[in-house]
Structure 1
């Protein structure tokens, strides 16, 4: 969680300095969800992500240096500097991509899970998405087919209460998105998305059921994005009292307090963890800054992708 937080705050600072092009949608405040869920995945399992995807990718084992280089638009990035923040992917780690299209991950996850079932593997796909994307047709199409075919998918809704600047109460009549699971005869639960243990336990059970051929589960994680929809957007539509209440539920101080209170670590050990992560992020930034920009002649390369033998086997 701390690695995600530090990566995001660093991206925030460099974006403000004009060193990161395009748009940046930060995961600050939601770190417990990606961390808790991905802790239960194997390396060859799949995830699909969103435009707010850095946290998912880091939690699934994404390389910090290659991710930072992609944000900087450098040729050494995971997308050779052409995808940017919203389109980071790494097929070698089962990371099927962050995605700038709201709701696109639902159907990508369906294909990944169908592939795993067809090939007879034990792979699972975790599909991360936001609350507003559950109003898209892709959400309902994906859940319907996944339920009919009992596909190995775990749907994880990160309900941060806002679709861009529109609060959930203004775009949905329901309070809990998990109730939509009943329409597709699959388990649906709502949990505290800022409690990494609650997320991990719910994900563990859902992932096991998916591997055992019992089909999909919808997990709704209540959480809160601490920044605006994207960097540069003020977020002044969010009530001050609401923001203050959610800041008190920040998953990282909450975890640090638990670890200290239960003597899992002491203050010096916690500081050592923080310093180690800071050094990793500094190294990622240096790698990005020292890397070259993509050459002009590469502009029309990678329009189509060649499936590598490694990916074909997987």
Structure 2
């Protein structure tokens, strides 16, 4: 399906927002303004945006420890995310979750997850709820190549297949897990593994937004129509280490420079839309600037905001129904 000019603008704005957001979070972390560990998503923007462009606020996503990009792609508020990551009042979880535990139920963001492979079982629950209630809503779980080896993921695939759940499994294969290559740690293609559960599965170029978008369009049509689960393995790269501060000793000499020059999904998108006359460089530059301004505003608000009061330690512990 062809995207309108307005849709293309939104897609690129979201992608460049994720990129600039992550670059700024690295700076703020290094400046001591962010507590805990932070795992960045830059390099993988085409996947998160290509997937979430098809979703509504009523659709549920489950993320990973590398969840900032998924949050932004799902529509979470940028300033509230920055406040959360900085551990400040007014954050999406009032500053008590931090980078790896951002959630926003109003946007269908079930939560980032510090447990590798923790998202798919949770999304099975959301998918089962949608099926039981008879809605057309779907659940989408994001996982990496490392989590594809987890028993929780295998069990989630099996249960989704057995119950014909409206659950789309997304595997972002950046080939590194934490720092171990998939050629060493993962036997065969992830998509082929999923197919063994009798679940339709495809493998796409995760650097190409349009390839991801088209694959997700077919997945959503399949799943919303009640045909059960689906899976997409996206072949991607990440620009930064497993976490901010990771020395990346597992990288080859000049590898990162080559990736940034030749495998940048934003550059690939820009080249495609400008060469086809869909967008101009001036339009893209304007969106870059707008995203940067929004992030700067959020950072300044985050730096000035107070931390949660000590008394807040005892709130949000239990859910009242």
Instruction: Structure 2 unaligned segments of length 5 or more: list them.
Output: 1-14
Cα distance in 2, alignment partners of residues 270 and 34 from structure 1: 19
Q: Following TM superposition, by how much is the alpha carbon of 1:241 offset from its aligned partner in structure 2, in angstroms?
A: 5.2
Among residues 73, 86, 109, which one is paired with 2:100 in the alignment? 86
**Corresponding position: 1:303 with 2:307:** no
Instruction: Structure 1 unaligned segments of length 5 or more: list them.
Output: 308-314
SS at match of 1:184: coil
For residues 223-238 of structure 1, what are the structure 2 equivalents within 5 Å? 223-238=236-251
For residues 161-176 of structure 1, what are the structure 2 equivalents within 5 Å? 161-174=175-188, 176=189
Instruction: Give CA-to-partner distance per residue, 1:27-83, whole Å, 9 cap, x none.
Output: 010000000000001121000000000000100000001000001100110111111
8 Å CA contact retained: 2:145, 2:186: no
Q: Following TM superposition, by how much is the alpha carbon of 1:258 offset from its aligned partner in structure 2, in angstroms?
A: 1.6
Cα distance in 2, alignment partners of residues 138 and 73 from structure 1: 30
Partner in structure 2 of residue 290 of structure 1:
304
SS at match of 1:265: coil
For residues 184-199 of structure 1, what are the structure 2 equivalents within 5 Å? 184-199=197-212
What is the TM-score normalised by the length of structure 2? 0.93
Among residues 42, 48, 67, which one is paired with 2:56 in the alignment? 42
Alpha-carbon RMSD across the aligned residues, in angstroms, is: 1.1
Classify 1:291/1:306 alpha carbon distance in 2 versus 1 (closer, same or farther; 3 Å).
farther
Among residues 272, 276, 282, which one is paired with 2:286 in the alignment? 272
What is the TM-score normalised by the length of structure 1? 0.95
**Corresponding position: 1:143 with 2:157:** yes
SS at match of 2:111: coil
**Corresponding position: 1:181 with 2:209:** no
Cα distance in 2, alignment partners of residues 77 and 301 from structure 1: 15
Partner in structure 1 of residue 171 of structure 2:
157
Cα distance in 1, alignment partners of residues 245 and 161 from structure 2: 40
How many residues end up aligned between the 2 structures?
Answer: 306
Cα distance in 2, alignment partners of residues 256 and 169 from structure 1: 31
Instruction: Give CA-to-partner distance per residue, 1:125-176, whole Å, 9 cap, x none.
Output: 11101111011111111111111111001100000001111111221221x2
